């Protein structure tokens, strides 16, 4: 999934992440609310809530916002009822795409996602059509900065990582879902700066597309992420550096 991670990194470099910070906070708030409703408001006893709060901190979400989200989830503050949805489909040239959403209106979200797929040269599929191509994994991103990437990778393996991929300016660290927190904590104890950590859907195998289809797929993924109800978007495309640079230049 390195192509997807590189795409996310490039968007951050472009400043798009800052431009969408308000929307990002909305998504993080929804994740916290659902986590509380499912497992209670005590982070120590609720893994999903701990993970949601950590992601909020990683993205510089104010503590007041986090506390309000917890209160809304526990019913102390009024909030809409949110439902989890997973939608599956195909992008240009058959790329597999998985969309995770939290919504207070399933029909609206379904229509919005279907519209984006159809307008972007893709199609929404049936439940299960592409989910089997992905595995749930923990994903930790660590910036290399002046660090030795090979040494960082070895430290990650020692901390319990299942797999490590070295990119230009960061290292992707993959874990079993239940070991994500353990590995992150071990890395933090080594004074490594964690850029992000989350549960992700990682493709078992990746595909490469020709340039036109790859650029269309990137645009499709971007448009899906712009939907307020959509929390995460995953694909099985490995985008080359050249394609990502061309997409960034278009932006």
Q: What is the pLDDT of residues 174-193, one digit of tens each?
A: 999 999 999 999 999 988 88
Quick one: pLDDT at residue 2?
A: 46
The whole domain housing 21 covers: 2-74
Let me know whether 142 and 173 are in one domain. yes
In the block, tokens 């989910």 appear at 131
3-state secondary structure of 75: coil
| Domain identity same for 69 and 11 | yes
Within a domain: 11: yes
Instruction: Return the H-helix or E-strand segment holding 219.
Output: helix 211-225
Whether residues 94 and 69 fall in one domain? no
pLDDT number for residue 17: 52
C-alpha span between 217 and 239 (Å, rounded):
10
- Domain for residue 80, yes or no? no
Question: 142: part of which helix (H) or strand (E)?
Answer: strand 134-143
Question: Are residue 65 and residue 20 in the same domain, yes or no?
Answer: yes
Tell me: the pLDDT tens digits for 59-116? 889 999 999 999 999 887 676 788 899 999 999 899 999 999 999 999 999 999 999 9
CA distances from residue 38 to 14, 32, 47, 49 in whole angstroms, order as listed: 36, 10, 11, 9
Whether residue 9 sits in one domain with residue 55: yes
Find, among 200, 192, 195, the residue nearest to 232 by Cα.
Answer: 200
Same domain, 175 and 216: no
Residue 60 belongs to a domain: yes
Q: How many domains does the chain have?
A: 3
The model's confidence at residue 21, banded by pLDDT at 50, 70 and 90, is low
Give this prediction's pTM.
Answer: 0.86
| 60: three-class secondary structure by DSSP | coil
Question: Could you tell me if 143 and 109 lie in one domain?
Answer: no
Same domain, 120 and 214: yes
Average pLDDT over residues 16-20: 54
Cβ–Cβ under 8 Å, residues 34 and 101: no
Does pLDDT of 4 surpass 60? no
What pLDDT does 14 receive? 45
Helices H / strands E in the chain, number of each: 10, 8
Residues 144, 26: one domain? no
Same domain, yes or no: 166 and 184: yes
Which CATH number characterizes residue 31's domain?
1.10.10.200
Residue 82: per-residue pLDDT: 87
> Which structure tokens are listed for 83?
């439902």
Neighbouring CB atoms inside 10 A of 18's CB total 10
* Crossing angle for the helix pair 180-189 and 149-158, to the nearest 10 degrees: 130
Q: Is residue 109 one of the residues assigned to a domain?
A: yes
Do 118 and 229 share a domain, yes or no?
A: yes
Same domain, 6 and 70: yes
Tell me if 231 is assigned to some domain: yes
Query: CA-to-CA distance for 154 and 234, rounded, in angstroms?
Result: 27
| Residue 82 within any structural domain of the chain | no
């Amino acid at each position: 999934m390195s192509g997807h991670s590189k795409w996310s990194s490039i968007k951050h470099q472009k400043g798009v992440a800052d431009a969408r910070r308000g929307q990002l906070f909305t998504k993080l708030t929804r994740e916290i609310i659902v986590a509380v409703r499912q497992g209670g408001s005590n982070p120590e006893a609720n893994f999903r809530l701990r993970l949601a709060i950590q992601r909020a901190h990683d993205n510089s979400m104010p503590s007041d916002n986090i506390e309000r989200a917890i209160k809304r989830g526990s019913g102390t503050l009024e909030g809409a009822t949110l439902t989890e949805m997973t939608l599956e489909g195909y992008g240009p040239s058959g790329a597999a795409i998985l969309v995770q959403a939290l919504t207070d209106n399933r029909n609206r979200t379904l229509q919005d996602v279907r519209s984006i797929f159809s307008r972007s040269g893709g199609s929404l599929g049936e439940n299960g059509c592409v989910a089997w191509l992905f595995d749930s994994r923990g994903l930790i991103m660590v910036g290399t900065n002046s660090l030795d990437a090979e040494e960082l990778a070895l430290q990650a393996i020692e901390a319990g990582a299942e797999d490590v991929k070295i990119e230009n300016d960061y290292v992707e660290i993959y874990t079993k879902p239940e070991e994500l927190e353990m590995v992150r904590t071990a890395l933090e104890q080594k004074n490594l700066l964690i850029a992000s950590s989350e549960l992700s859907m990682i493709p078992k195998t990746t595909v490469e597309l020709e340039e036109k289809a790859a650029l269309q797929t990137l645009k499709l993924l971007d448009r899906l992420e712009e939907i307020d109800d959509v929390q995460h978007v995953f694909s099985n495309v490995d985008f080359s550096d050249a394609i990502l640079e061309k997409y960034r230049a278009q932006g």
